[in-house]
Structure 1
Amino acid sequence: MSQSPSQTPSPSNLRIQPTDSPGDAGASAAMDPERYWLEHVYQGGVRQLTVRAVIAGMLIGAVMCLSNLYVILKTGWSLGVTITACILAFAVFGTLRSLRVLKAEFTDLENNAMGSVASAAGYMTGGGNMAAVPALLMLTGALPSAGWLMVWFAVISAMGVFAAIPIKRQLINVEALPFPTGTATAETIRALHGHGETARRKSRLLAIAGGIGALLVTLRDARFTWLANIPEKVSLPFTLLGKKASAWSLSFDFSLLLVGAGALVSFRTGWSMLLGAVLTYGFLAPAMVTQGAIAEVTYRSINSWMVWTGSAVLVSSGLLSFAFQWRSVARSFKSLAGLFRGKNAKDEEVDPLAGIECPPAWFPLGFAILGPIAVFLMAYLFQIPWWAGVMALPLAVVMGVIASRVTGETDTTPTKALGPVTQLIFGGLAPGNIPANVMSANATGGVGLHSADLLTDLKSGWLLGANPRQQFIAQLFGVVAGAVVVVPVFNILVPDASMLGSEEFPAPASMVWAGVSKLLATGVAALPDSARVGALCGAMLGIFLVLLERWAPAKAKAYVPSPAGFGLAIVIPGSSSIAFFFGSAIAALLRRAKPKLAEETVLPISSGFIAGESLLGIGIAMAKAFGVMPK
């Protein structure tokens, strides 16, 4: 049975205390956080990586991966899936046990192992994967076959799993970095398996919200003769330059997915997105249309100009925020140097976790096997010079160390910074080679960013007393599940490049990657004068907002627009930002008025809205693609 937080001191809060008896066994445990964890937290005898946990994780992870695919094409953000997956698994296994289909209890560590599988599958859309591949499609008009792309995604993501091995013990076991999302997942699993009524209430809310989201998308998108569809959106009640507000993308969307996603971000991000949408589509876009810089009043035409300004805000703010984390970067390089200092025989002899942690040799062995495959795929699929492919491998390790520490300390994986950085590196190494620029960066950034995301999952296991070696194996199962499902469904949702950058799928992350790559290939001079001015202003604005956030008085920081939220609002439809704002505002009001109620309801309801609408939206899109339903 699992132990409650009150019974088991959390190793993440362990602080070494001096002792008068250094030879005493208890004192030595207190002096060594790993030995303390082994003696007081580790649950070696509890079921963990069972067959049912793997199967459930692969199925739920595949579903959450598809949900994330839909969300990232809509919003550019890849949402965390582990907590939602754990709630779903608990509800499913609890129902099966109440029906007497299953006899054995679904343990907390089984749920954690299931979450490891599901998170690896769900993160298949992260790590730059679903930014780089759509960007390549936009830039070249073609992609490799589905089978080759599955292999590509699986290899890159698996290398990210192996890259986490040498830094896991330092960042999680020894330094006890917080990894807030991982800590929250552990607390959620404890609550689910420790308080049945709370768990059942959350699972019911998740199911009800999912049903409501699915019903809404059916009424909106399903084309049946017997069904009267509701409109996709309702225009705001004003005109600009003689055009309805909806022509400028300023409307209310009938989308609970966007409202749910907004509830999961901070209110500061929500109102920053609203402000960005109003300024972009209410003032800047009409001014550019009047000047002739934007040819017509359509979202695609507006976005083709705005993407340079929005990308500049996101890239400049991401890079500067990352630069301000230089202490984390410096500590990362110190940790990286430690990877090449082998332990002596005495250290190995007294290693308390030698039989539980992944052996250090697995890291070079994994790269020795997968590295040549990755280099071959880069050369064969994307015509990347072999030497550039070889260089991507050590760079991937460096990126993984940096991204993992930043994620552990701030809970923010620095995708917006490391993605463009890797593009800049390969833009200099292979100038003018667009596939090399995009996909080399996908390999380097993808491995590093996957490593950071998956360490968050290992943090949950550390707090719960799980076996890290079993979690590592679980993540490899998830990699396979995610790669197998994400590629064919992407090809159905996005049959050609014309779908990207549209109101249906704005794909802002891909627009940024494509913009950076195009800029590196053609040079700034190829941009229209107005777009260059817009990009310069965007870069300056991104820098200004970061500096203002950093230097403003503590009480004033809440009133500084979020650079990420403001920049994102420039490259997605105004209607999406409006929905995000409403979601964040409702959640913020509830957290202020009824904090306990908000804690119990916001996550399951929001996750249900997102899962219900995205999954049925994918189902309807597939039905239309195969001719089962009229378009």
Structure 2
Amino acid sequence: MAMHQHDRGHHKNEPYIPASASLTEITVRAILLGISLSILLGAANVYLGLKAGITVAASIPAAVVSMAVLKMFKNSNILENNIVQTAASAGESLAAGVIFTIPALVILGIWDSFHYWETTLIAALGGVIGVFFTVPLRRSLIEQNKLQYPEGVATAEVLKVGDQGAGAKSLLGGGIIGALFKLGDSGFRLWTGIWEFAKPVQGSVFYFGINLSPALIAVGYIVGLNIATLVFIGGAINWLVAIPIYVASNELPEKESMIDLTYHVWSTKTRYIGVGAMVAGGLWALIQMRGSLFTGVIASMEAYRQSKLKSSDQVMRTSRDIPIQWIGLALLFSLVPLVLIYIYIVEQVPLALGMAVMMLIAGFLFSAISAYMAGLVGSSNNPVSGVTIATILFASLLLLGLGMGTSKGPAAALLIGAVVCCAAAIGGDNMQDLKSGYIVGATPWKQQIMQLIGVIAGALVMAPVLTLLLKAYGIGPITVEGQKPLAAPQSELMASVAQGVFAKNLPWNFIIAGIAVAIAVIIADLILAAKKASFRMPVLAVAVGLYLPFELSTSIFLGGLVAAAAGLCFRRRRRNLQSNIELTAADHHRDSGMRRGLLFAAGLITGEALLGILLAIPIVLYKGINPLDFGLSSLSAWPGIILLAIVLYLLYQLSTKHAKE
């Protein structure tokens, strides 16, 4: 690596490793490490997504782990580390596609468990299709339009800085704290995991709650105050406005407590406001990127035409994608097993073929949307669930119009949505990784190969992890005695939409109300964009808050506040500085501190999620009984509140450690 040091580009638009350099990228150790991290981080995000309804990008933690591990080898380099994080992040993104849709089949009783081969093939094929669909868009969205891809840029900066020691320590420290917190909460049950209350107020109800989870705090920190605030606003609209209005205006069944009453109204009525908002948000995303979608395809075809006129030596290393003719053949081959799965499940050949065509069209459109939106707001804020709900709603209406009934219809719609969701999730992730590679000077086709490897590795463990969590905790309304089920909010919504269309009992008044809220948010965001305001209002962030339980939204908001407080601390210190040297040093400390905070937050998520999966093993072995339970969780939530406050303090202190320097 040292021999190329003098060749590295120093201009802003030049890659870190120039195209003329030739460093080893794909190695056996990189493949093995990438597969391991894809499985590990994918499993962690399955847990987080089912618990919170939100997943976060794993590229930065994967890059830090890769640097820490490969540092032990003298001949490792930045492009090899980039290849590892490319494969690793695929498992995390695939987890989002799977947990947003596949559990809906179990929730509706279509499956009694997570069928291994069906789940694995749907996840793998959806992910592979997502990679293939976005390869033709790389030149348009990354080289020509130069979208931001914030998480891709951040990952590239982490790779360039290569601060293995501090980064690995922050990640490990967060992981240990997250794991210990989860052990005390869900393992030993030393406190209740949620602090919440609901009180009758003038014929209505007031509810407030906080989920005592470091992982949710970390999610808020990572997405930042802007997005965290919008999630909270969405939650407040539903839980502090819509639910009280509904309770005051309707006769409701008797419930054991006001908390139960509030959740009953949310689960059966007002969460459909979130459905309407997500559908409107997904359609708005399609409208926003209609131009880039077509220009991307045209640019790809032109690049292919030019490549036919040149020899391979004339095409720069940093501009070589998987050849488009190979992509076309691979897509055709991938459709064959997908059609066979559809035939096996719906037992009608014409219908299965129609489902494949619908999936192909929706998969391309929404993979492109995901790729474009990731460039604007990042993978963690990507509207994957929004476009999936839109897909399932329209597929359900179309299948209903073709005469399909309630016995097979919901399953057919969900299977179309599952493949589209996996493709869209991977599409956005693929572009983030390719952006990182573009900055550091990687070879695109090698990254695309590693993305495919990461997808397949992650797909192999999705069904076992889902089965373990289902048996240990329960998912959605399927509960295990003595355990709090994982909410799986997106899957419950997908199930409700698919079933509601065929049963013709969707609460359209709430869906229309959600569409109205979304339109108002879109208009507000357009006004903010015209004023070039720093605070923006992406509609899907509000939609996420509308359908999440409020106790999740409040915890995410707290994390956003910590990130904002850390940034404010640095800005205050910076105001007192005069010289350019001092200002540059201050900016360096700010970036370093926020990066440590980011890695600590990623550790909190990974530690809590992985221990949650490990704790599921003894619960399953003891047939649903937690052998570690001390039986103290009914006493109080205060131990958890105090410990969570300490976590908040540590996160803030770590982020602002050098503010005074």
TM range (shorter): 0.7 to 0.9
1:147 paired to 2:117: yes
Is 2:137–2:296's contact at 8 Å kept on the other side of the alignment? no
Q: How much has 1:317 moved relative to structure 2?
A: 3.1
**Superposition map of 1:272-421 within 5 A:** 272-292=230-250, 295=253, 296=255, 297=258, 298=260, 300-301=263-264, 302-332=266-296, 334-335=298-299, 342=305, 345-347=308-310, 351-353=314-316, 356-383=320-347, 385-391=351-357, 392-411=359-378, 413-421=382-390
* Aligned equivalents of 1:294, 1:335: Cα separation in 2: 58
Residue 257 of structure 1 is aligned with which of 189, 204, 215?
A: 215
Q: Secondary structure at the match of 2:100?
A: helix
1:462 paired to 2:438: yes
Is 1:379–1:389's contact at 8 Å kept on the other side of the alignment? no
Match of 2:152 in 1: 182
Structure 1 119/348 Cα, relative in aligned 2: closer, same or farther at 3 Å? same
Q: Secondary structure at the match of 2:101?
A: helix
Residue 457 of structure 2 is aligned with which of 481, 485, 499?
A: 481
Deviates more, 1:258-267 or 1:159-168: 159-168
Q: How much has 1:147 moved relative to structure 2?
A: 2.7
Match of 1:30 in 2: none
1:510 paired to 2:491: yes
Is 1:235–1:244's contact at 8 Å kept on the other side of the alignment? no
Residue 69 of structure 1 is aligned with which of 46, 52, 65?
A: 46
Structure 1 262/522 Cα, relative in aligned 2: closer, same or farther at 3 Å? same
TM-score by length of 1: 0.83
Structure 1 257/38 Cα, relative in aligned 2: closer, same or farther at 3 Å? closer
Match of 2:638 in 1: none
Structure 1 538/409 Cα, relative in aligned 2: closer, same or farther at 3 Å? closer
Q: How much has 1:449 moved relative to structure 2?
A: 4.1
Structure 1 543/283 Cα, relative in aligned 2: closer, same or farther at 3 Å? closer
Match of 2:512 in 1: 536
Q: Aligned pairs, how many?
A: 581
Structure 1 512/323 Cα, relative in aligned 2: closer, same or farther at 3 Å? farther
Q: Secondary structure at the match of 1:266?
A: helix
Deviations 1:348-376 (A, max 9, x none): 57741489532232202211321211111
* Aligned equivalents of 1:359, 1:590: Cα separation in 2: 46
Match of 2:447 in 1: 471
Q: How much has 1:111 moved relative to structure 2?
A: 0.8
Q: How much has 1:496 moved relative to structure 2?
A: 10
Match of 2:59 in 1: 82
- Cα RMSD (Å): 3.3
Residue 18 of structure 2 is aligned with which of 24, 32, 40?
A: 40
Q: Secondary structure at the match of 2:328?
A: helix
Structure 1 65/277 Cα, relative in aligned 2: closer, same or farther at 3 Å? same
Structure 1 470/276 Cα, relative in aligned 2: closer, same or farther at 3 Å? closer
Match of 1:195 in 2: none
* Aligned equivalents of 1:272, 1:424: Cα separation in 2: 25
* Aligned equivalents of 1:230, 1:244: Cα separation in 2: 29
Is 2:39–2:91's contact at 8 Å kept on the other side of the alignment? yes
Match of 1:622 in 2: 617
Structure 1 378/539 Cα, relative in aligned 2: closer, same or farther at 3 Å? same
Is 1:356–1:467's contact at 8 Å kept on the other side of the alignment? yes
Residue identity opposite 2:175 in structure 1: G
1:231 paired to 2:197: no
Q: How much has 1:593 moved relative to structure 2?
A: 1.0
Q: How much has 1:239 moved relative to structure 2?
A: 2.7
* Aligned equivalents of 1:616, 1:532: Cα separation in 2: 40
Is 2:125–2:334's contact at 8 Å kept on the other side of the alignment? yes
* Aligned equivalents of 1:144, 1:39: Cα separation in 2: 45
Match of 2:178 in 1: 213
Structure 1 122/349 Cα, relative in aligned 2: closer, same or farther at 3 Å? closer
Once the two structures are aligned, what percentage of the paired residues are identical? 21
Structure 1 386/533 Cα, relative in aligned 2: closer, same or farther at 3 Å? closer
1:582 paired to 2:555: no
Q: How much has 1:417 moved relative to structure 2?
A: 4.4
Deviates more, 1:596-605 or 1:326-335: 326-335
Structure 1 219/540 Cα, relative in aligned 2: closer, same or farther at 3 Å? same
**Superposition map of 1:515-526 within 5 A:** 515-523=496-504, 526=505
Q: How much has 1:189 moved relative to structure 2?
A: 0.5
Match of 2:224 in 1: 266
Residue identity opposite 2:18 in structure 1: H
Q: How much has 1:604 moved relative to structure 2?
A: 0.8
* Aligned equivalents of 2:356, 2:186: Cα separation in 1: 46
TM-score by length of 2: 0.79
